[in-house]
Chain A
Amino acid sequence: MRQRLAISVISAGVFFSPLLFAQTASKEKTAKDQTGAFDPHDLSGKWNRVSPFQTYSNVPGGANELQAYILGQAPAPQKLDVETAEAPFTAEGKAKFDKNIPSYGRRITAPMLGNDPQAMCDPWGVPRMLNGQVAGPHATIEMVQLPDRMFTFSQWHHDYRVVWTDGRQLPKLDEVEPRWNGYSVGKWEGNTFVVNSLGFDERTWLDHNGYPHTDQMRLEERYRRLDADTLELVETITDPQYYSKPFRSDTKIWKLDREGGKTWDEQIYCVPSEEFKFNKLIRDGNVGK
C-alpha cells in the first residue's frame, strides 16, 4: 500500500556526515557540461548518485532525508515529500527480512546489536554496490567500458564487478556457482544498456535496510544516459521465494563527477585489523573495560 511520507530535515549535526561530501563543488561545471554533446552508448565515468533513496527501492524509511539539502537542491530545514511502497514480500521473505537487523532506516538498531554483513567486512555485493548508503565523492561508482566487458568500480570496499558484453548468453542458474557480485551479461536495446544477472551469494543484502534475497534471485538493470551528465538506473529483481512479484527499484539518478573522477581515489578497503578494533573498542563502547 502506498503512503505519503513527509520527512523533516534538520540541518544541525550534519558536519560529521560522509554525505556532506556530496555537496557538489562541481555544480557549475555540471550545469555547463549539460549542454555538451555525449554518446548515449558511453556510460564511462565516475557517477555520484543524487536521487533521494539510498536503499534498493522507494521503501519506507529509505530516503536520505538530507540529500536534497546536501546537494544544494533545497534549503534546510525543509520538508521532502517522497512516495514510498513496501516490498512485495512472501511470508518467507518477510521472515528473513525480520531477521536482518540493520543500522539504518525505520528499523535502525545499534550496530553492536545488528547483523549487517558489512560489519564483518563482507562484500556489499550486487546490487547493494549500486544502492549504498554513502554518497559521492566519498563512495560512489565508476564505470569503465571495454570492447567485451564493462567494469563497475565501487569506492566502498574497493570492489568491482564485471558485466560481459561480448554477446555471450546468460548461463542457466544451475550452471553458475553463487558469488558475491553474481554473473552478469549486458547488451544495448536502443539507447538503454540492459544488464541481466544471476548466481548471487544469498548472504548479501539488497541495501543497508536489510532487504534480503535468495541465491535464486535474478536481477535486471536498465541504464540510460539522459544527457552528458545524467545517468538513470532502474533495477528489478525476480526472486519468487522472497518476493511475490518482480520487485522494482526507484528510478535512481546519477550525476557525472568530472572533477572527482580525476582526483578522488579514497581506496576505502574494509580492513579487518582496523574495522574489528574500531568495532570492539569504539562502536561497542568497550574502550576502558
Chain B
Amino acid sequence: MGKQLISYVVFGIISGAPIFAHHGTSVTYQTDKTLTMTGIVTEFSFSYPHPQLYFDVKDADGNVQHWGSEFGPTPLMMKNMNLGWTRDSIKPGDTVTITCNPHRVPGSTACLAKELIINGKKLPMGGGRPPTQGKE
C-alpha cells in the first residue's frame, strides 16, 4: 500500500478493562490504544446494534480514506444518558475530530469511538453521569 493516508497519535494505555457489549468489543478493538483524526462526516447511522459514524479523512496530499466508528451504547441508551445532543446533531458534511480505539485487524479503518468533536463542539459520549432509568 502506498502513502500513509492519515497521521495519528497512539496514546498510552487508558484502560485495560473489557468493554462489555454484545459484539465482543474487547477482542475487536485495541482498547489499550487510541488514535485521533479529523475528517468529514459522510453518514451518521443512529441505529442498532450500535450507532455508527462514517467519515472521510484526507491527508496533506489530498488522499482520502473512508473510516467508520461505532459507539458502545445502543441508540436508546445514549438518548437516556441525557448527553445534550441527539441523532440530528451530526450530519453529512460536518467536520469531525474523533478519538477512538483502533480495530485489531491490521489496516482496518474501523474503530470504537471514545471522544467526539463535531464542528468544533465536543459531544459527550457518556461516562460522567449515570443514565436516568426508564426515561426516554
Contact = CB atoms under 8 A, between A and B. Distances in A.
B14 interface: yes
B105 A285 contact: yes
A252 B73 CA distance: 25
A110 B76 CA distance: 25
Contacts of B132: 25
A283 B25 CA distance: 8
A14 B134 contact: no
A25 B81 CA distance: 13
A260 interface: yes
A25 B125 CA distance: 20
B63 to A, nearest CB: 12
Nearest to A287: B68
Contacts of B109: 285, 287-289
Interface in A98-133: 103-104, 108-112, 114, 118-119, 133
Interface string A131-164: 0011001100000000000000000000000000
B4 interface: no
Given A18-B74, A274-B48, A286-B108, A133 B22 contact: yes
Nearest to B52: A282
Interface in A231-289: 257, 259-260, 262-264, 266, 268-271, 274-275, 277-278, 281-289
Contacts of A24: 133
Contacts of A64: 20
Given A10-B15, A14-B19, A266-B74, A137 B48 contact: no
Contact of A11 (B17, B26, B68, B135): B17
B133 A17 contact: no
A15 B126 contact: yes
A64 B17 CA distance: 12
Contacts of A274: 47-49
B77 to A, nearest CB: 6
Contact of B22 (A66, A118, A262): A118
Contacts of A269: 48
A20 B130 contact: yes
Given A10-B16, A17-B72, A286-B110, A103 B23 contact: yes
Nearest to A275: B49
A288 B103 CA distance: 12
B28 to A, nearest CB: 5
A278 B70 contact: yes
A12 B14 contact: yes
Interface string B78-99: 0010000000000000000000
B36 interface: no
B27 A281 contact: no
A30 to B, nearest CB: 11
Contact of A16 (B65, B72, B135): B72
A275 B52 CA distance: 12
Interface of A: 10-21, 23-26, 64-66, 103-104, 108-112, 114, 118-119, 133-134, 137-138, 257, 259-260, 262-264, 266, 268-271, 274-275, 277-278, 281-289
19 contacts: A13-B16, A17-B20, A20-B73, A21-B131, A23-B130, A108-B26, A109-B27, A110-B24, A133-B20, A133-B22, A138-B74, A138-B77, A257-B134, A264-B133, A264-B134, A268-B74, A282-B70, A285-B108, A285-B110
Q: Which 5 A-B pairs have the closest CB atoms?
A: A16-B72, A103-B24, A285-B108, A15-B127, A287-B68
Interface of B: 14-28, 31, 45, 47-50, 52, 54, 65-74, 76-77, 80, 103-105, 108-110, 112, 125-127, 130-136
